[in-house]
Amino acid sequence: MGELEAPERAKLFERFGATFAAGASIYREGDAATDCFLIQEGRVRLVKRIRSTERSLTVLRPGDVFGEDALLAGSTRSASALALTDLSVLALDRPTFGVLLSGNAEVATRLVEQLVRRLRDAEEQLENAMLADHPSRVVNTLLRLARESGEPGEGRRTLQLSPLELSSRVGLDVDTVKRVVQQLRDGGYLRIADERIELPDLGALRSLYDLLGRKEEVRGGGR
């Protein structure tokens, strides 16, 4: 909630604040959407059930908004929200959130930027779903995240994200992504440090992606 001054945050939290322990369910898919949430401290995982499997959609951090389906009258939750860590949020109903948006342009801008980012994430997952092999999906996502960092050139990049966050962006389960990451690590294409992924040579990673694509074309041509 860096968009609000500390006294304003404290005043809002006194009136609308809520806390959740790590692992707690904030709401479940299909619940009535009554409040939307602004994260003050901690992280939230959004999860969507697809048939019998739950898939991570994204991981959200302080300053992010979630549960915005509550802004539509009579709507239900399109996904579940789980506290990934101990969590502090502002829980705001539709009228209250509207007042906050109208009185704070930076919060409104943040919401629009986040909705655009989620749309781009959905497009990215659709693109990944069209790639047949798992390494291509992971490498494609890493290259996209590196581009989004805004740094020029083909040299080193550092991405601030955990394996769970990466799996959400790739659209595969965590164990599968971890296996691919280990393969890339063994090949010297990346290094892991805490919740950071270091890409020592972006050009080499891009060449690997092209190579994986050529291999897939050869396999496809043999069928």
Residues 155 and 109 in one domain: no
Alpha carbons 134 and 20: distance in angstroms, whole number = 35
Query: Does residue 172 belong to any structural domain of this protein?
Result: yes
Query: Which residues sit opposite 196 in a β-bridge?
Result: 160, 193
CATH number of the domain that 153 lies in?
Answer: 1.10.10.10
CB 177 within 8 A of CB 163: yes
pLDDT tens per residue across span 24-38:
999 999 999 999 998
- In the chain, how many domains are there? 2
CB 37 within 8 A of CB 45: no
Maximum pairwise Cα distance, the chain = 66
What's the pLDDT band for 1 if we cut at 50, 70, 90? very low
Domain limits for position 200: 131-221
Residues 213 and 141 in one domain: yes
Residues 164 and 147 in one domain: yes
Q: What are phi and psi of 177, to 5 degrees?
A: -65, -40
What's the pLDDT band for 58 if we cut at 50, 70, 90? confident
pLDDT tens per residue across span 69-108:
888 888 899 899 999 999 999 898 888 888 877 777 777 7
CATH number of the domain that 78 lies in?
Answer: 2.60.120.10
* Cα 202–Cα 205–Cα 210 angle in degrees, nearest 5: 125
Query: Does residue 1 belong to any structural domain of this protein?
Result: no
pLDDT tens per residue across span 4-27:
566 777 788 888 899 999 999 999
Please, where are the H alpha helices in the chain?
Answer: 6-16, 94-103, 105-129, 134-148, 163-170, 174-186, 202-221
Percent above pLDDT 90 for the chain? 27
Residues 170 and 116 in one domain: no
Residue, of 130 and 186, whose pLDDT is higher? 186
Residues 81 and 160 in one domain: no
Alpha carbons 168 and 117: distance in angstroms, whole number = 13
Residues 172 and 75 in one domain: no
Q: What is the pLDDT of residue 41?
A: 93
